[in-house]
Amino acid sequence: MLKVENINVHYGVINAIKNVSFEVNEGEIVALIGANGAGKTSIMHAISGLIKTSSGRIEFLGNDITKEPAHKVVANGLAQVPEGRRIFSQLSVQDNLEMGAYLRTDSKVQEDLDKVYKRFPRLNERKSQLAGTLSGGEQQMLAMGRALMSKPKLLLLDEPSMGLSPILVNEIFDIIKEINKEDGVTVLLVEQNANKALSIAHRAYVLETGNITVSGDATDVAKNPKVREAYLG
């Protein structure tokens, strides 16, 4: 479904992503784990078009999206929940969700809005509240709901557990599993919380300073002694 081939990302002279290749198949949850600064977010941004790759190719559903600007990528069915949520704090919860459906012209938007409210009842309670007044967990739910409003086939999640209490982390990860199973949305998950990510993922890649060093089934990756030592403690 998503094929990333030999991409490089440079910030000035710094080569942040070095010849990274991986793929995500339809229906999977794929985890990309790695330490702070390994380049996880850069990969996410390269896929969604927020930053430019210096070489390599990104293919989604058979289309080359390497050079596509971010506002066009989402139309292909690829939505990103960015690191730090980045909800629109001055807009109401409902307006945030409507922004998620910005490009949609079909008649099912209202139906999907109801679905999001059903999945995240707390957002329903706070519909007309400014999004900036929500708690961290609620903001994460809003960011996910907002991305789902674009009816994505592939959902990119960047550090969904960041800054959340363990109970909330469990709740969020249950919802990710649900979105994958019930709605058939393929998920690419970037996480520092490797334990949690590997527990729900089908496959995983380990990223170290811009290189993929380990890859395979999530259960195998979790057993890999090097990974255990570095990320799972």
Interface residues toward other proteins, by CB under 8 A: 48-50, 69-72, 74-75, 79-80, 82, 84, 86-91, 95, 98-100, 102-103, 130, 132-136, 139, 146-147, 150, 163
CB of 225 to other proteins, least distance (A): 36
- Whichever of 134 and 227 has its CB closer to other proteins, that residue is 134
Closer residue to other proteins (CB): 37 or 132? 132
C-alpha 59/C-alpha 68 separation (Å) is 11
Tell the residue number behind the tokens 């957002």, with chain if given. 123
Alpha carbon distances (Å) from 221 to 90, 125, 159: 41, 40, 19
In the complex, what is the shortest distance from the CB of residue 94 to other proteins, in angstroms, rounded to a whole number?
A: 10
Among residues 200, 215, 205, 190, which one has the least CA distance to residue 45?
190
CA-to-CA dists, residue 157 to 62, 147, 192, angstroms? 22, 10, 12
Task: Give whichever of 38 and 74 is closer to other proteins, judged by the CB atom.
Answer: 74
Question: From CA 50, how far away is CA 52, in angstroms rounded?
Answer: 7
Q: What is the DSSP letter of 75?
A: G
The nearest distance, CB 162 to other proteins, in angstroms, is 9
**Judged by CB, which is closer to other proteins: 25, or 102?**
102
Q: Say if CB 149 and CB 101 are below 8 A apart.
A: yes
- To other proteins, the closest distance from the beta carbon of 227 in angstroms equals 29
Give the single-character DSSP code of 130.
B
Least distance (Å) between residue 230 CB and other proteins: 27
- Residue number with CB closer to other proteins (25 or 90): 90
